Amino acid sequence: MRIGWAITGAGHLLKESVNLLVELSKNHKITVFLSQSSEEVLKMYGLYEKVTEVTGGYYKELALDSDQRFSYPISGRFSLGKYDLLIVSPATSNSVAKIVNGISDTLVTNCVAQAGKGGVQTLIVPVDMELGDVHTVLPSKLELGSCADCKECEAAKKCPNGAIIPKTEVNLLKCIGCGECKNSCQYGAISEGKIVTIKMREVDIENSHKLVLIQGIYVLKHPDEIKNHV
């Protein structure tokens, strides 16, 4: 199959989505479309390289929103029916809100709009599906309660990107999720992959449920369900 896989900037279900993308890329031609924030968030979780490794070649490109201009010409491939399937996983509340309101002003939302026009089936995995608490995973974080205020911060010294601001925080926009900081701090002051509980907002859940009303869009609760459609 020729597939377009769009990733938005959600940390939730990101690892699961990337793992499945890697698996499916062995037997399918996949173009990966990244929203601007997904470029950043993939790096924070140390998953960006994994995505670049499965891309390269015609219809296997890594298409970046940050490389595009305002008209998103690459999304025209969908209106021309060049793909068998579009997958959006994970889908942020932001992108879902735009899609259900017919807005297409980013690479990912343009892909969805053009897929609709080209009759390309679209599978979307929104991260906000049910009201209540959800456990989600954080990227690297400086735990100030454990910070020993060392004269020379080993984590900052080891970070290849200068992302650690000693005694303050991890600058996530510089972080590439390599884990060097966590491994070098003997006081365990850097956490990586910490599980936190967040509350789903009603407006986001409502928007996710509105997706099913759009012709050609199928909503899935988890990336694992994608396999049944490929």
b or e along 151-165 (b: 16 or more beta carbons within 10 Å of the residue's beta carbon)? eebbbbebbeeebbe
| Smallest separation (angstroms) from ligand FMN to the CB of 159 | 17
Query: Rounded to the nearest whole angstrom, what is the least distance from the CB of residue 71 to ligand FMN in the complex?
Result: 17
Binding positions for ligand FMN, rule: CB under 6 A: 8-12, 35, 37-38, 41, 44, 92-95, 106, 127, 136, 139, 172
Nearer to ligand FMN, 127 or 159 (CB): 127
> In this structure, what DSSP letter does residue 139 have?
-
Nearer to ligand FMN, 125 or 154 (CB): 125
Q: Which residue is nearest to ligand FMN (CB)?
A: 9
Do 137 and 193 touch, CB atoms closer than 8 A?
yes
What is the smallest separation between the CB atom of 176 and ligand FMN, expressed in angstroms? 13
Q: Is 154 or 220 the residue whose CB approaches ligand FMN more closely?
A: 220
Rounded to a whole number of angstroms, the minimum distance from the CB of residue 203 to ligand FMN is: 12
Cα separation of 218 and 52, whole Å? 27
| Comparison of 1 and 196: residue with beta carbon closer to ligand FMN | 196
Instruction: Reduce the DSSP state of residue 19 to 3 states and report it.
Output: helix
Nearest-10 crossing angle of helices 107-118, 93-100: 40
Distance of alpha carbon 56 from the chain centroid: 19
Number of H helices, E strands in the chain: 9, 12
Which residues on adjacent β-strands are paired with residue 86?
Answer: 4, 122
Q: How far is the CB of 171 from ligand FMN (least distance, A)?
A: 11
Nearer to ligand FMN, 10 or 159 (CB): 10
